[in-house]
Each structure stands twice: as structure tokens, then as C-alpha cells.
Amino acid sequence: MQRYFVKDRANGNRFMIDSEDRHHILKVMRMHIGDQLMCVDPQGKTAVCEIAEITDEQVVADVVQWKEENSELPISITIASGLPKGDKLEWIIQKGTELGAHGFMPFSAARSVVKWDDKKAAKKIERWQKIAKEAAEQSHRAILPEVSNLVSFKNLLAESKNFDYKLVAYEEESRSGETSIFSSTLQKMENGQSLLFVFGPEGGLTEEEVRLLKENGFSICGLGPRILRTETAPLYSLAAISYHFELMR
């Protein structure tokens, strides 16, 4: 059943769906009055709804049944990616959302090749958020991951103070055979706690960046014996986290 994240509820049992979602319901899904869909409110509550009214501006859907479901990881993970080339960040956001990430924080790293255009920033962030929304609907998430604006490395360090745990994937640790930090961090985490996981761009993080991250409370970890691409490492990590917290239990 098609799922939509809906911002507005007229009352406890009626959703008001507008904008692109209205277009998708009518033009893509070809739904009519009486058809059913899933609505998720801003608090993550999910309901089976039935279309009760269609106007020029919105689709009105009444709740048929509230659903008790849990599709979220028990910990909150934010992926901080050094701004990569091309559409790699879009891939990270889409697949990372499917794998359970709660947020994405792109940052400007020393080896980031892409030059950020502030004039085009709003449209780019809007596109990233749309990708996250569509992936969250497809994968039946209960929350909509937030994609932040590009932050500087200095601001990344400042934002990190808001997290319970902080990790950095560093290829030099993988080369040296380090395998314990990632696993031991997950074992220490409790339900409801937060993790900020930093990944470098193509070319990786510089030694100076790693030094500053360590000084700000980050633990440096390896991700196994193979060196992963910038768009692969976050997905590998999220899959490992899902296995640890969901499949092993």
C-alpha cells in the first residue's frame, strides 16, 4: 500500500494531503475516492486511510485504522559525508534512508573536489530531501530523515557535541587491521542514543582532519580489510549496524 508522509492533520482522524503528494496520488497512482493508502504524521504514527474527498488543492483521507509497527533502528544515526563528486551523495541519501539512517550532514572536507554554489544550494538541498522522502516512503520508514545544509569542517566539529557517540571511518585504520572500535562502540550503545558517523570524500580525510576529530571526542575505526569507496562505506556501516541491533536480536 502506498505510503505518504503528511504534515497536516485537520483533526485526530483526518489527513490533508497536498502539493506533489496530491499529484502523485491522482496522476501516478490513479486513486479515487474510496481507495486506501498509508499516512504517516510528523510524530511517526502510521495509519491506513481512505480517500474521502478530492479538491483542486488537496486530497482528504480519513483514518480507517492506526497501525502499530516499528520499522526504525533503536539508535539514531547521522551520516556525515565529505562532499563527494557527481551524484554520489544522492546515492548515499537514498540507500542510507532505506538502511535506516536518521539524518545526513554533508560537509566540506579538505579533499572535496566539488565547489559548493550557494546560489544553487536551496534547490540542491530540496532535491536531497525529496530523495530521502521517496526512499523513506518506499522502505516503509516511520520518520523522514533530515538532510542538512552543507556545513564547514569547523561546524561539523561543533555539531558533534550534540551526539552521544562519534565515529570516523579512516582507511589507515583498515590497512592496519583495526576491527574492534566499530563493534565495541555498538555494544556500548543503548536504545535511544545517537551516533554521528563521519566519512571522507574521494581521497579520504587528511591527517590534520583526523587529528582534529580525535581532539573533539571521535573514535577512529576501520571497516574491515578492504578499502571502500566514499559512497560504499556509509552503506556498509549502516548494514552492519542493522545486523547488530536488529537481526542479532
Give yes or no: residues 209 and 242 share one domain.
yes
Last residue of a domain, one of 67, 86, 110: 67
Region 119-128 average pLDDT? 89
d(CA 122, CA 128): 10
Give yes or no: residues 144 and 119 share one domain.
yes
Tens digits of residue pLDDT in 134-160? 999 999 999 999 999 999 999 999 999
Q: Which residue has the higher pLDDT, 163 or 224?
A: 163
Give yes or no: residues 46 and 80 share one domain.
no
Region 215-236 average pLDDT? 94
Q: How confident is the model at residue 43 (pLDDT cuts 50, 70, 90)?
A: confident
Decide: residue 126, CB within 10 A, 0-12 exposed, 13-18 middle, 19+ buried: exposed
Determine what percent of the chain is predicted with pLDDT higher than 70. 96
Domains contained in the chain, number: 2
Last residue of a domain, one of 18, 40, 67: 67
Give yes or no: residues 184 and 87 share one domain.
yes
Give the closest residue to 247 by CA, choosing from 79, 238, 44.
238
Give yes or no: residues 104 and 162 share one domain.
yes
Give yes or no: residues 170 and 115 share one domain.
yes
Give yes or no: residues 107 and 142 share one domain.
yes
Give yes or no: residues 172 and 224 share one domain.
yes
Residue that is written with C-alpha cell 483533526 in the block: 11
Q: What CATH number does the domain containing 15 carry? A: 2.40.240.20
pLDDT number for residue 174: 59
Last residue of a domain, one of 14, 40, 67: 67
Q: What CATH number does the domain containing 224 carry? A: 3.40.1280.10
111 CB-near residues (< 8 Å, 6+ apart): 82, 200, 201, 202, 203, 204, 205, 206
Give yes or no: residues 125 and 221 share one domain.
yes
Give yes or no: residues 40 and 159 share one domain.
no
Q: How confident is the model at residue 37 (pLDDT cuts 50, 70, 90)?
A: very high
d(CA 144, CA 124): 18
pLDDT number for residue 175: 61
Give yes or no: residues 137 and 213 share one domain.
yes
Domain that holds residue 199: 76-247
Give yes or no: residues 198 and 152 share one domain.
yes
Q: Please state the pTM of the whole predicted model.
A: 0.90
Q: How confident is the model at residue 173 (pLDDT cuts 50, 70, 90)?
A: low
